């Protein structure tokens, strides 16, 4: 456990100093800051527009940070030869990979906490909501954090055998399918009118691809009339899903990385 923690903390230290990530983070915070002044222009409810736009910025920025942060993690260590010094110590390859993943998740957590704090603060200043409403708004970022953990696991998995460029497009693609297309494939899979081939494809996509859309639980927050059935059960399910799916990807990554020539 000691090597894993040492690698994780060093990874956090390095991640929070990477200029490109800090620039993305800065742009994210900047966009969040201007949203309250833009939402007054909308014809829809000012509050719901503000929340949904802020969530969209938070999610998009977090995803970009998660991908940029993790796709270079292993290749950079190999290119700079730091991996040789580390692996010549009593550190197993799987410990190195888990340490890197944990560091990425911690760094992501820090950045999401920072952006969420700005978001909640702005929401409080501009909307003066009740404490219950504020808590409700602050809940969604936690699920985005789980989504980004899952995305980081996808990127780390690909980084054990692909180049950063290929990894970037693969990860973006999988996240895109898992967020935008997943609900569509879900409905195709359950639609008895669809062709059997389409249903099989849809079942594969919904079953095998990580379901990032599960973590977008903003609808009941934006539209207070909507509710999630068995909310507690659903939240437990998506937390376990994120943990188990990430663990599965990490194990697969470990098997590949263990055989890889570095």
Partner 1 sequence: MAAAIETRKLTKTYKSRLHGLINVVQDLDLTVEEGEIFGFLGPNGAGKTTTIKMLLGIIYPTGGEGFVLGKEIGDMDVHRIISYLPERPYYYEHMTGLEILRFYGALFGIKDEALFNQLLERVNLAADKSKTISQFSKGMQQRIGLAQSLLNDPKLLFLDEPTGGLDPIAHIEIRDLILNFRDEGRTVFISSHELSEVERICDRVAIINKGIIVRQGKLDDLLSGGRIEIIADDVSKEIADQVKGTTDATVSFHDGRLIVDMSDEQDPNSVVDSIRSTKGRIISLTPRRKRLEDLFIETVRDDDASKKKPAAVAAEVGGAQ
Name which of 214, 99, 204, 94 is nearest 151 in CA terms. 214
Determine the distance from the C-alpha atom of residue 46 to the mean position of all C-alpha atoms in its chain, rounded to a whole number: 27
Rounded to the nearest 10°, the torsion over CA 78, 81, 87, 92 is: -20
Q: Which is nearer to partner 1, 44 or 81 (CB)?
A: 81
Q: Which is nearer to partner 1, 7 or 222 (CB)?
A: 7
The residues binding partner 1 (CB under 8 A) are 2-3, 5-7, 10, 13-14, 17, 80-92, 261-262
The number of CA neighbours under 13 Å toward the Cβ of 224 is 8
Helix, strand, coil % over all residues of the chain, rounded to 5:
80, 0, 20
Residue 7 Cβ, how far from partner 1 at the closest point, in Å? 8
**Residue 88 or residue 130: which is nearer to partner 1 going by CB?**
88
Smallest distance, partner 1 to C-beta of residue 73, A: 13
Q: Which is nearer to partner 1, 90 or 193 (CB)?
A: 90
Q: Which is nearer to partner 1, 17 or 125 (CB)?
A: 17
User: Which residues are CB-contacts of 86 (< 8 A; sequence separation ≥ 6)?
Assistant: 7, 77, 96
Q: Which of 174, 124, 184, 183 is nearest to 151 (CA)?
A: 174
Closest approach of Cβ 129 to partner 1, in Å? 39
Distance of closest approach, residue 40 Cβ to partner 1, in angstroms = 42
Tell me how far, at minimum, the Cβ of 173 lies from partner 1, in Å: 26
């Amino acid at each position: 456990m000691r090597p894993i923690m040492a690698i994780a903390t060093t990874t956090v230290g390095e991640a929070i100093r990477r200029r490109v990530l800090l620039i993305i983070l800065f742009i994210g915070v900047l966009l969040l800051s201007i949203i309250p002044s833009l939402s007054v222009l909308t014809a829809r409810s000012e509050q719901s527009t503000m929340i949904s736009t802020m969530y969209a910025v938070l999610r998009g920025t977090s995803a970009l940070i998660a991908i940029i942060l993790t796709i270079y993690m292993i290749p950079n260590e190999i290119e700079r030869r730091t991996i040789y010094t580390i692996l010549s110590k009593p550190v197993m390859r799987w410990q190195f990979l888990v340490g890197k993943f944990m560091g990425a998740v911690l760094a992501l957590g820090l950045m999401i906490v920072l952006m969420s704090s700005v978001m909640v603060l702005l929401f409080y200043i501009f909307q003066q909501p009740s404490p219950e409403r504020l808590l409700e708004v602050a809940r969604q970022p936690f699920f985005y954090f789980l989504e980004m953990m899952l995305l980081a696991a996808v990127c780390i998995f690909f980084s054990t055998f692909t180049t950063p460029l290929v990894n970037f497009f693969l990860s973006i693609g999988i996240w895109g399918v898992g967020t935008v297309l997943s609900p569509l494939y879900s409905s195709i899979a359950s639609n008895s009118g669809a062709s059997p081939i389409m249903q099989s494809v849809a079942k594969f996509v919904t079953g095998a691809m990580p379901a990032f859309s599960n973590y977008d639980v903003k609808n009941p927050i934006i539209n207070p009339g909507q509710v999630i059935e068995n909310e507690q059960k659903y939240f437990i399910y998506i937390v376990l899903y994120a943990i188990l799916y990430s663990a599965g990807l990490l194990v697969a990554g470990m098997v590949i990385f263990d055989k890889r020539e570095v």
